[in-house]
Amino acid sequence: MPDTTCHMSISLDGFVAGPDQSREHPLGRRGHDVHRWHLGDERATEADEIAAGWLMRPRGAYVMGRNMFGPIRGEWDEDWRGWWGPEPPYHAPVFVLTRHDRESIEMEGGTTFHFVTDGFDAAYARARETAGDAGVDIAGGASTVRQALVAGVVDELTLDIAPVLLGSGERIFDGVDDLGLEPVEVLHSPLATHIRYRRAD
């Protein structure tokens, strides 16, 4: 069965986004600091390059939450087409969790955003069916990753642990009782410790 993966940058105190997410601060205040390892910081090393390769490996489909797709709450602003410009980095179908219906959006480069109103399980099932042998990635944000971990569908979880304290924001492990994962690879740099976990047999 093809793997379901998830790759998240996280602060030392367990936050994947800072507080007060907005159009001006999509990762929350100081949330950008946990992503410096792959955003062109001059201190990045070969370890960060390897981890970036893990992050950007192609997948057959993605599941993400509405907060990751954009800052819009309530009914859709139909002009909003995501944070990534005309060609998002996914190049595959992306299933976005939402409570509000919206027509699918075709973007350049093979990304199509589909909006799913009947919950994580339905979005994940559609992603699995669409992805075939190419596998699914749980792209974020925090709530969607929590749901995937609680459902026990994540086969491989990579955490990029940045030496940063955010103090508050969005956590991914609240309510997750047992990961069922074990570390299989660790890489270090001044900007992050990259730990790749796999489902324990």
Residue 99 falls inside a structural domain:
yes
For the segment 7-16, the average pLDDT, to the nearest whole number, is 96
Q: How many domains does the chain contain in total?
A: 1
Give the helix/strand (H/E) hosting 49.
Answer: helix 46-56
Residue 153 falls inside a structural domain:
yes
Strongest mean pLDDT among 26-35, 58-67, 173-182? 58-67
pLDDT tens for residues 101-120? 999 999 999 999 999 999 99
CATH at residue 119: 3.40.430.10
| 66: helix, strand or coil | helix
pLDDT tens for residues 12-35? 999 998 888 777 888 888 888 999
State pTM to two decimals.
0.94
Q: Which domain holds residue 13?
A: 4-72+85-199
Give the residue carrying structure tokens 């047992």.
178
Residue 79 falls inside a structural domain:
no
Q: 23: phi > 0 → left, psi -120 to 50 → alpha, else beta; which?
A: alpha
Residue 77 falls inside a structural domain:
no
- What pLDDT sits at residue 78? 75
- What pLDDT sits at residue 1? 55
Give the residue carrying structure tokens 């410009």.
85
Residue 80 falls inside a structural domain:
no
Residue 78 falls inside a structural domain:
no
Count the helices and strands in the chain (H runs, E runs). 4, 11
Residue 144 falls inside a structural domain:
yes
Residue 98 falls inside a structural domain:
yes
Give the helix/strand (H/E) hosting 146.
Answer: helix 142-151
Q: Residue 7 is which amino acid?
A: H
